[in-house]
């Protein structure tokens, strides 16, 4: 007798859950502000120099004190002031360093103990778009209290010009506040983040999704009102003169620089216009010397 084959019963397929859509960051958080930043590759450091950001430690807010001492008075405790300086210069104080957690006794003249750090380093800013800003805006950036912290000198110097993709404070508990501050600074000055930098900041903020955007409670302007010398800028043309277009490759004539374009009354100069050259158009958008 041939056995009756046992019917094959297909198992009931289990429903496959659809992956949850990523939630949108809450309004007012650092993660939401990060999403507003332009993402771009790092620009070349051509032309970068600390002096391109103006004189170090201006009295940018015109309160009679230089920026470095303003930050030391803000960030240190038990501050003693030099009475000969109208309450400006910090003679001594104590800092609990946010980067390392170390308590540092500060005495004026000891440059090995405390630095005033640019949270977004000047070199990083240059490669993120500050190279295209005018010198008064760069000076505002370099002296903006939002971008400045009194910190351990050794930690600051190990950071150098690094972004969040390659350096974070040793104190893990401070990292969310640190990257939130970097994001706020870049948002204020319309600077870009690299893909790696954005991803590193996003990973950090994923650990603290409610981290608020760093407040700009000083309302420091994005352009100083002082005359600031830019040692890397072309000298202005003599009034009443213009610079003739220079002959480039193939005999095409182009203006030597944007000062020449402005002096000739043709700025902005667009691709296809007489005098246009790619050396004038740093962002490559076809419109130079805006």
Please report, for the chain, the start and end positions of each structural domain, with discontinuous segments joined by +.
30-206, 246-288
Q: Which residue has the higher pLDDT, 271 or 161?
A: 161
pLDDT digits (tens, 9 = 90+) for 72-88: 999 999 999 999 999 99
Between CA 124 and CA 141 the distance in angstroms is 12
Report pLDDT for 251.
Answer: 42
Between CA 144 and CA 19 the distance in angstroms is 43
pLDDT digits (tens, 9 = 90+) for 204-218: 999 999 999 999 988
Report pLDDT for 212.
Answer: 98
pLDDT digits (tens, 9 = 90+) for 57-115: 999 999 999 999 999 999 999 999 999 999 999 999 999 999 999 999 999 998 889 99
pLDDT digits (tens, 9 = 90+) for 7-24: 554 444 445 544 444 578
Report pLDDT for 254.
Answer: 60
Report pLDDT for 260.
Answer: 73
Between CA 205 and CA 199 the distance in angstroms is 10
pLDDT beyond 60 at 244: no
Q: Which residue has the higher pLDDT, 12 or 136?
A: 136
Q: Which residue has the higher pLDDT, 276 or 29?
A: 29
């Amino acid at each position: 007798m041939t056995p009756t084959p046992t019917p094959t019963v297909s198992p009931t397929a289990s429903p496959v859950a659809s992956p949850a859509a990523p939630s949108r960051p809450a309004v007012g958080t650092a993660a939401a502000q990060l999403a507003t930043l332009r993402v771009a590759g790092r620009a070349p450091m051509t032309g970068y120099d600390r002096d391109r950001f103006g004189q170090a430690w201006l009295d940018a807010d015109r309160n009679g004190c230089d920026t470095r001492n303003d930050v030391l008075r803000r960030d240190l405790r038990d501050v003693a002031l030099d009475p000969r300086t109208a309450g400006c210069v910090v003679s001594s104080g104590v800092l609990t360093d946010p980067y390392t957690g170390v308590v540092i006794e500060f005495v004026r003249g000891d440059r090995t103990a405390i630095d005033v750090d640019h949270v977004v380093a000047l070199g990083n800013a240059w490669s993120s778009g500050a190279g295209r800003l005018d010198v008064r805006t760069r000076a505002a950036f370099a002296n903006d209290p939002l971008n400045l912290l009194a910190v351990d000198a050794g930690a600051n110097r190990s950071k150098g010009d690094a972004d969040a993709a390659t350096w974070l404070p040793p104190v893990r508990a401070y990292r969310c506040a640190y990257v939130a501050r970097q994001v706020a600074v870049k948002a204020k000055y319309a600077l870009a983040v690299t893909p790696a930098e954005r991803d590193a900041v996003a990973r950090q903020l994923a650990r603290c999704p409610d981290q608020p955007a760093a407040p700009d409670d000083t309302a420091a302007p994005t352009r100083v009102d002082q005359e600031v010398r830019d040692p890397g800028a072309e000298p202005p043309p003599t009034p009443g003169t213009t610079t003739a277009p220079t002959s480039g490759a193939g005999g095409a004539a182009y203006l030597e620089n944007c000062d020449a374009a402005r002096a000739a009354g043709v700025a902005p100069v667009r691709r296809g216009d007489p005098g246009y050259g790619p050396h004038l158009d740093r962002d490559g958008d076809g419109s130079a010397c805006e």
